[in-house]
């Protein structure tokens, strides 16, 4: 019995539906949504691909994602007082997380508008938009009845927690898709559902929330078969991996090993031949750049360094559409990833 046969006996492979358009080496991608989008987006960034990830921070629920997308596409100034709140010594925006918070409302507004402008530009040029939905639950700030992307550690008594039903999620995201299509008609929109489990809701309630997201994503895929695709990240973790060793120490977040596996499955099934060839060439260079020699003066280290530089320059020459690390030969190429 060979290794592949043994693997098949002890796991349930998830069939990955084909993309509308395979991912190419020159594609621009935008990833929005839960922290799982950040993990996959980081791997795209580490591969030196053109990617924009959550400019306004992590977004957990689909209604906040819709709100951010609409504001980004409209490109209108954020002048409404209801978009901001002061808590303690800081001003916060309801559109994003604390990375946009600032000591003054003006600074918070400026940072938020810059993040939206960055998202607008990325969406206008992107080939792919990955939307990772985390939960169908969301919070309304009692002062304005606005859906918030982040509670900013404001006491829970100031919010109403509610549940978005499937029809509401579908209609809201459908409106966002229409707006996006007006900005960029070639955009491939890919829905995923985060495998993170919301234990604070209770495991049954968490699963119900995931079910609503799955039903909504499938409804949108059926409504827009030429514009919307689905990648089964949730199903791969639940069914293929199905083991607590693939979770972080909190037993709720997928571990790095699980995210690595999702990334590999995405590349194996959705990357075109050109992108797969590039990734196969880039990976040994990436590993080499992480190397820290014990003895920098060892002749073998210099040989290794020269070979790495040559491979790096060959990649830059063969893939001019990518910005593969800073150009120019540095004194220490093994620090390139920190440049």
Q: Are residues 109 and 229 in the same domain?
A: yes
Of 182, 203, 233, the residue at which a domain comes to its end is 233
In terms of domains, do 280 and 223 share one?
A: no
Judge whether 168 lies within some domain. yes
Residue that finishes a domain, picked among 211, 233, 255: 233
Output the pLDDT for position 13: 87
How far apart CA 295 and CA 132 sit, in angstroms, is 44
- Please tell me the pTM assigned to this model: 0.90
Phi–psi pair at 36, nearest 5 degrees: -65, -35
80, 88 contact by CB (below 8 A): no
User: Using an 8 Å Cβ cutoff, are 133 and 142 in contact?
Assistant: no
Q: Say whether both 149 and 222 belong to one domain.
A: yes
Domain assignment of residue 32, yes or no: yes
Number of domains the chain contains? 2
Q: Are residues 102 and 227 in the same domain?
A: yes
Query: 14 lies in a domain?
Result: no
Same domain, 24 and 116: yes
In a domain, 162, yes or no: yes
> Does residue 279 share a domain with residue 216?
no
Per the CB < 8 A criterion, the answer to whether 134 and 60 are in contact is yes
- Say whether both 323 and 198 belong to one domain: no
pLDDT score at 326? 61
Q: What is the DSSP letter of 17?
A: P
Residue 294 included in any domain: yes
Q: Could you give the strand order of the β-sheet that contains 137-141, starting from the edge strand earlier in sequence?
A: 146-148, 137-141, 159-163
- 145 in the same domain as 92: yes
Residues 45 and 187 in one domain: yes
Provide the pLDDT for residue 329: 42
Other CB atoms closer than 10 Å to residue 102's CB: what's the count? 18
Q: Would residue 310 count as lying in a domain?
A: yes
Q: What is the CATH number of the domain that holds 207?
A: 3.40.50
CA distance 45 to 63: 26
Q: Is 331 part of any domain?
A: yes
Mark whether 227 and 307 lie in a shared domain. no
Q: How far apart, in whole angstroms, are the C-alpha atoms of residue 269 and residue 264?
A: 9
Q: Give, for all 339 residues of the chain, the pLDDT tens digit.
A: 454 544 555 678 899 999 999 999 999 999 999 988 999 999 999 999 999 999 999 999 999 999 999 999 997 788 787 889 999 999 999 999 999 999 999 999 999 999 999 999 999 999 999 999 999 999 999 988 989 999 999 999 999 999 999 999 999 999 999 999 999 999 999 999 999 888 788 888 888 999 999 999 999 999 999 999 999 999 999 888 887 677 777 776 778 888 999 999 999 999 999 999 999 999 999 998 888 877 777 787 888 888 999 999 999 999 999 988 864 444 445 554 443
Domain limit, last residue, from 233, 259, 291: 233
Neighbours of 232 (CB within 10 A): 21
Residues 226 and 180: their CA atoms lie apart, in Å, by: 14
How is residue 84 annotated by DSSP?
E
Long-range contacts of 320-326 (CB under 8 A, 24+ apart): 321/25, 321/26, 321/50, 322/25, 322/26, 322/48, 322/49, 322/50, 323/48, 323/50, 324/48, 324/282, 325/48, 325/289
Classify residue 14 by burial, with Cβ atoms within 10 Å: 0-12, 13-18, 19+: middle
Query: Could you tell me the residue range of the domain that residue 324 belongs to?
Result: 272-339
3-state secondary structure of 29: strand
In the chain, % of residues over pLDDT 70? 92
Residues 190 and 292 in one domain: no
Residues 130 and 207 in one domain: yes
Please tell me the distance from the alpha carbon of residue 254 to that of residue 197, in angstroms, as a whole number: 9
DSSP-derived 3-state class of residue 137: strand
Examine residue 242 and state whether it is found in any structural domain, yes or no. Answer: no
């Amino acid at each position: 019995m060979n290794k592949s046969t043994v693997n098949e006996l002890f796991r349930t492979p998830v069939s990955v539906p084909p993309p509308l358009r395979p991912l190419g080496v020159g594609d621009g991608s935008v990833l929005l949504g839960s922290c799982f989008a950040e993990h996959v987006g980081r791997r795209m960034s580490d591969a030196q691909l053109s990617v924009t990830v959550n400019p306004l921070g992590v977004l957990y629920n689909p209604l906040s994602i819709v709100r951010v997308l609409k504001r980004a596409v409209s490109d209108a100034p954020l002048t409404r007082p209801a978009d901001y709140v002061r808590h303690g010594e800081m001003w916060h925006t309801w559109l994003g997380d604390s990375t946009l918070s600032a000591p003054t409302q003006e600074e918070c507004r400026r940072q938020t508008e810059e993040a939206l402008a960055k998202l607008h530009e990325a969406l206008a040029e992107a080939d792919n938009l990955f939307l990772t939905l985390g939960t169908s639950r969301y919070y309304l700030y009692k002062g304005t009845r606005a859906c918030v992307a982040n509670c900013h550690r404001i006491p829970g008594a100031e919010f109403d927690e509610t549940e978005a039903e499937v029809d509401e999620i579908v209609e809201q995201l459908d409106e966002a898709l229409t707006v996006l299509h007006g900005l960029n008609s070639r955009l491939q929109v890919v829905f995923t559902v985060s495998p993170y489990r919301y234990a604070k809701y209770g495991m049954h309630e968490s699963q119900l929330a995931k079910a609503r997201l799955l039903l909504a994503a499938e409804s949108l895929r059926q409504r827009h078969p030429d514009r919307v695709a689905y990648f089964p990240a949730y199903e791969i973790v639940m069914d293929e991996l199905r083991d607590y060793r693939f979770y972080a120490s909190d037993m709720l977040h997928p571990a790095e090993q699980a995210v690595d596996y999702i990334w590999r499955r995405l590349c194996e099934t959705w990357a075109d031949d050109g992108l797969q060839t590039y990734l196969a060439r880039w990976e040994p260079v990436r590993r080499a750049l992480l190397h820290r020699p014990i003895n920098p003066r060892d002749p073998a280290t210099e040989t290794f360094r020269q070979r790495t530089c040559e491979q790096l320059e060959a990649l830059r020459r063969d893939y001019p559409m990518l910005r593969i690390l800073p150009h120019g030969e540095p004194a220490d190429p093994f620090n390139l990833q920190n440049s």
